[in-house]
Structure 1
Amino acid sequence: MAKITYVEHNGTEHVVEVKPGMTVMEGARDNGVPGIDADCGGACACSTCHVYVDAEWVDRIPGKEPMEEDMLDFAYQPDPVRSRLTCQIKVTPDVDGLVVYIPEKQI
């Protein structure tokens, strides 16, 4: 299991254990983390699982694929470096300790 910390816009932290093979989005959804809407269910067809990856983790997780880059154009206040869609981040032992910040809203 990997521990992922989801930080709500108001600063509330949710530390969740997520099984390898799942996505960071599934970990949030399955544990009731507010602010990750995941309207498309993880198909990379919306931007409602948008987060800002902690700066220390940006270079430690696999990069964005073109489809994710395109969908981030629709996210609320995307950051060119830190914004990610949680449905596109696979959980592996390498992401144990990952911290993500949930934006004020999803659009």
Structure 2
Amino acid sequence: MTRREAKHLKALYFDLRIKDLKTHYSQTNPKGAYALIQRFLTSHDFSHEQYSGYHSKHKTTDLEIFDLIREMSDTFPWLQHCVSHFEVTNVGANHDLMDLFVSEISEPINL
């Protein structure tokens, strides 16, 4: 009996070394690499959350993520020389905390 891999919403986080981007991507616009990566990931159903963080819009498997990152590496051959950190994690339940921010506080809070 074969088990199917569970699907989860995924979060991707990465860091690039600007010095290496200047060498392997562009001396004059090294940060342009971030826009290319954003375009790639958003075209593959990820939302840009903040900085270098992206969330999948649909549940996916780890294997599908590995294939996506291999495709991204093939699309951007300079990436392997410039990435200093790249991780994937399953996204748990998100809870909107906006209701906790109230416009008026009835009594002062002593800390």
Normalising by structure 1, we get a TM-score of 0.31
Q: Which has the higher helix share?
A: 2
Question: Which one has a bigger Cα radius of gyration?
Answer: 2
